């Protein structure tokens, strides 16, 4: 094995301890990288970065206390030099674009083989972007034939903030809890809920809640 000082230092952000442990074992098995720290949410991730100075952060989108997209955004605001690789079970066509938009350097689905994750880590560490071949072709098709690119879900039409509120509704958070979580007023969250109902063609709050919960259950880890 190579000296630990020469290894790339990786941080893992996931709210499941078993996942963090599994990823750590996978990464630590490699000769050129090591997990230097882990975290379960955004605040602890920022503290871990300050204390351990990782070379790359792996962030899961579905965190219990916050959105992985928001965590990625905050990491890039406070530590723009640290690349972020998003790892998730969520639909790639929907989430990869949002992840890149907030500053991520790559996106890997958890259903991919371990070798793909290791390859993605090395690619992002080298300063490049990692996406699956399917997503690369999808983005190219948007550029070449933007008018013919078909949206796969009505969720595509949501803004990043609307999408964040939608995810929190799916986790069962009440309006006031969501407002406190993302530092907005209750009135503003109510406005987002109204926008969500219109964009998703839902009649009332009950339908929105049911849709968000079912979507999260089908698409979450």
Compute φ and ψ for 211, nearest 5 degrees. Answer: -65, -45
Length of the chain: 221
Check: CB of residue 106 under 8 Å from CB of residue 123: yes
Which residue spans within the chain are E strands per DSSP?
Answer: 8-13, 33-39, 56-60, 84-88, 106-109
Compute φ and ψ for 79, nearest 5 degrees. Answer: -135, 70
Compute φ and ψ for 56, nearest 5 degrees. Answer: -160, 145
Compute φ and ψ for 16, nearest 5 degrees. Answer: -105, 115
The pLDDT assigned to 63 comes to 80
pLDDT digits (tens, 9 = 90+) for 166-202: 988 988 889 999 998 888 899 999 999 999 999 999 9
Check: CB of residue 217 under 8 Å from CB of residue 167: no
Helix 114-125 / helix 17-28 crossing angle, nearest 10 deg: 70
The pLDDT assigned to 3 comes to 60
The pLDDT assigned to 67 comes to 80
pTM: 0.77
Q: Which residues, at least 6 apart from 54, have a Cβ–Cβ distance to it below 8 Å? A: 9, 10, 11, 36, 37, 48, 82
Could you give the domains of the chain? Answer: 4-141 (3.40.50.2300), 154-219 (1.10.10.10)
Check: CB of residue 60 under 8 Å from CB of residue 87: yes
Burial (0-12, 13-18, 19+ Cβ within 10 Å), 16: middle
The pLDDT assigned to 148 comes to 52
The pLDDT assigned to 12 comes to 98
Q: Quick one: how many helices (H) and strands (E) in the chain? A: 10, 5
Per-residue pLDDT of the chain (221 residues; tens, 9 = 90+): 456 678 999 999 999 999 999 999 999 999 999 999 999 988 999 999 999 999 999 999 878 767 888 899 999 999 999 999 999 877 677 788 889 999 999 999 988 999 999 999 999 999 999 998 777 776 666 666 665 545 556 887 888 889 889 988 988 889 999 998 888 899 999 999 999 999 999 999 999 999 998 887 665 43
The pLDDT assigned to 218 comes to 60
């Amino acid at each position: 094995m190579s000296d630990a000082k020469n290894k790339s230092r990786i941080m893992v952000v996931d709210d499941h301890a078993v996942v963090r442990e599994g990823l750590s074992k996978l990464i630590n098995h490699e000769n050129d990288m090591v997990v230097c720290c882990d975290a379960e949410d955004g605040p602890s991730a920022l503290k871990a970065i300050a204390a351990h100075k990782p070379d790359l952060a792996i962030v899961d989108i579905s965190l219990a206390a916050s959105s992985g997209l928001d965590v990625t955004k905050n990491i890039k605001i406070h530590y723009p030099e640290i690349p972020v690789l998003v790892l998730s079970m969520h639909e790639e066509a929907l989430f990869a674009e949002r992840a890149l938009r907030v500053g991520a350097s790559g996106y890997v689905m958890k259903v991919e083989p371990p070798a793909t994750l290791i390859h993605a880590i090395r690619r992002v560490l080298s300063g490049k972007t990692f996406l699956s071949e399917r997503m690369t072709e999808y983005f190219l098709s948007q550029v070449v034939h933007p008018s013919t690119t078909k949206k796969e879900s009505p969720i595509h039409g949501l803004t990043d903030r609307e999408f964040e509120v939608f995810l929190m509704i799916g986790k069962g958070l009440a309006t006031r809890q969501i407002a406190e979580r993302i530092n907005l007023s209750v009135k503003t969250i109510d406005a987002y809920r109204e926008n969500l109902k219109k964009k998703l063609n839902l009649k009332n709050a009950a339908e929105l809640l049911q849709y968000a919960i079912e979507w999260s259950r089908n698409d979450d880890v």
